[in-house]
Amino acid sequence: MTPMTVLDERSRHLRRLVIDALKGGGRGHLGSSMSMVEILRVLYDDVLRYRPTDPLWAERDRFILSKGHGCLALYALLADKGFFPIDELLGFCRPESRLGGHPERGKVPGVEASTGALGHGLPIGVGIAIALRIKHSQARVVVLTGDGEINEGSNWEAAMSAAKHRLSNLTVLVDYNKLQSYGPTSEVLDLEPLTDKWRAFGFAVKEVDGHDVQQLKVALASLPFEASRPSAIICHTIKGKGFPFAEGNPEWHHKSGLTETDIHAMYDCLK
């Protein structure tokens, strides 16, 4: 599956917000954030239940960005939805800002867990899903992981537990952009057969083009895929999606020292 989706104005708008933050901080995980913009867009536009003015509303769905380095995209969505003023994006990574290079619970409204160290989101998500079940809550838990991130064994410990406890209120989304920091996931530590892996670990699994809004909507609207299993969606994406110089280029996993010229070039891609 090769995502070739053309980005619509909503997707371009959200990417502009990410660039605003990149511009403010002069650095950031561009590639890792741009691969997941459509995933977050559909989650926040169409799937998750939440109240921006009451971020700890008891019946909210819990979204955990386990690949915390993709926080630029999360900040863009949270700002767009009114969790905090959109102007704050310009303070990204600045000393006085609450928007750091990895998201922190208790600092940023709407952030459920402090992530950045990889392989933490799914175990926490399992604990929350169990807690919600004990409380007879209808709220759901969605965890977004990276592909390089699931090199970490803790994910697979948690996956076994999620299946054991039949956590149908838990969904894992894998942002499968096929590139980790050093290079292709197939070369660094191959994940294939990835769909079979999640299935073997007890999940009901679907695959989608992670930039195709309609496909994402359809898949996410049908959660849980099975009544007594956790769900997993493998989202095939392109690292740096929307920026030809960054697409599929590991050099853009993270960039620091971004210049005015770099920033202009990025905005130009979104015209």
Partner 1 sequence: MRKAALDCVHELSQSDDRVVFIGSDLGPGVLSKMRAESPERWFMEGVSEQHVIGMAAGLAMEGFIPYVNTIATFLTRRCFEQVAVDLCLHDLPVRLIANGGGGVYAPLGPTHLAIEDISIMRSLPNMTVIAPCDADEMRRLMAVTPDWPHPIYIRLAKGGDPVVSEAKNGFSIGRSITMRGGSDGLFVTTGVMTQVALESANLLAKEGLQIAVQHVHTVKPVDEEGLLPAIARVRAVVTVEEGIVNGGLGSAILELCSTRDPRSLSKIHRLGIPDVFPKRYGSQQTLLDEWGLTVSGLVTAMRNRIRNGVPDE
**Footprint of partner 1 (CB under 8 A):** 105-106, 112-114, 117, 119-120, 122-135, 153-154, 157-158, 160-161
Instruction: Report the C-alpha gap between 210 and 36 in whole angstroms.
Output: 7
Dmax (CA) for the chain in angstroms is 53
Q: What minimum distance in Å lies between the beta carbon of 80 and partner 1? A: 25
Residues 6+ apart with CB under 8 A from 224: 168, 169, 171, 204, 230, 231
- Pick the closer one to partner 1 by CB: 133 or 255: 133
Are the CB atoms for 170 and 141 separated by under 8 Å?
yes
Q: What minimum distance in Å lies between the beta carbon of 208 and partner 1? A: 26
Instruction: Look up tokens 């900040």; give the residue.
Output: 75
- Pick the closer one to partner 1 by CB: 19 or 64: 64
The neighbouring-strand residues paired with 175 are: 146, 235
Q: What minimum distance in Å lies between the beta carbon of 119 and partner 1? A: 7
- Pick the closer one to partner 1 by CB: 120 or 253: 120
3-state secondary structure of 208: strand
Nearest to 128 by CA among 117, 139, 115, 119: 139
Are the CB atoms for 172 and 198 separated by under 8 Å?
yes
Q: What minimum distance in Å lies between the beta carbon of 183 and partner 1? A: 25
Q: What minimum distance in Å lies between the beta carbon of 134 and partner 1? A: 5
Phi-psi region of 44 (alpha: psi -120 to 50; beta: other; left: phi over 0): alpha
- Pick the closer one to partner 1 by CB: 25 or 123: 123
- Pick the closer one to partner 1 by CB: 42 or 118: 118
